[in-house]
Amino acid sequence: MDFKTTPLSLRPLPFDKTVFPNDPRTSIQIFTNSSRPAKYEAANILGKEYDMEYIQNSDLEGDLTSLVRVYNEWVNSILTSDLEDRYQESISGSSNENNEIKHEETVPPDRLNRLQVRSGSLHPPRNRKEGDLAIKLADFLCEMDSDHRTFNLSGGKQFMEKHHLIPMEQYFNFEKSVDHYLNIYSLCPTCHRKIHYGEKEDRKEMLEILYGMRKTNYQEIYGIQLNDLFRYYNV
């Protein structure tokens, strides 16, 4: 790729006019023909130009804080979407699978005491194996309707997605970990999108069905009623 001729506007710009309202610059110019500075020019996300005469009086510290904030928001928005894809990527499809989580482990472990920040993600880490076990226990079928079809993974098993009925955002409100297969449902991608983005009434109906399937677990292990779920989902 020729960084010198790549249009800067093609980059995803987390450009925020509120950061530097008076002097918003989206591009920098280093005025050289060598390749490394050209890459800096191309990779610049947000910048501010200072006049050498007045740089003493500038709020450098405040500017740097703003830059770091924009950078962190940007990186985090990218990493979160990446992690979702990686999380849904199932390992259960392989034929020589070796699932370490035992079927008898029917009580979720206590939750962690604090947030674990890993690779910039702010959520508690989700254990892919718990989700894979949930899908395996559902026989690689959609728990809303076992007739829903997706496609087969290379290992021959049908692809399904993992959904935490008690959302991970509620992680710290429970004594027991909600990242446990008892709280994870196997859903086809359409049903999964629907429970996240569907119409209020449809989502409500789905919650009722899914909660009903494991009502005893939800009441005894997590101590929640259907109405609590409605609250989490804003329905």
Binding site for Zn ion (CB under 5 A): 142, 144, 148, 163, 188, 191
Least separation in angstroms between CB 50 and Zn ion: 46
Least separation in angstroms between CB 133 and Zn ion: 16
Torsion 177-178-179-184 (CA) sign: positive
Name which of 133 and 142 has its Cβ closer to Zn ion: 142
Name which of 134 and 142 has its Cβ closer to Zn ion: 142
Name which of 24 and 189 has its Cβ closer to Zn ion: 189
Least separation in angstroms between CB 88 and Zn ion: 9
Name which of 31 and 197 has its Cβ closer to Zn ion: 197
Name which of 42 and 142 has its Cβ closer to Zn ion: 142
Strand (E) or helix (H) holding 90 = none
DSSP notation for 210-227: HHHHTHHHIIIII---HH
Q: For residues 43 and 48, what is the distance between their CA atoms, to the nearest angstrom?
A: 15
Least separation in angstroms between CB 74 and Zn ion: 24
Work out the angle between the directed axes of helices 189-197 and 200-213 (0-180°, nearest 10). 120
Least separation in angstroms between CB 164 and Zn ion: 6
184-187 and 161-164 strand pairing:
antiparallel
Question: Do 56 and 24 meet the contact criterion of CB atoms below 8 Å apart?
Answer: no
Burial degree of 86 (CB within 10 A; 0-12, 13-18, 19+):
exposed
Name which of 23 and 84 has its Cβ closer to Zn ion: 84
Least separation in angstroms between CB 196 and Zn ion: 6
Among candidates 16, 3, 77, 72, which has minimal Cα distance to 47? 16
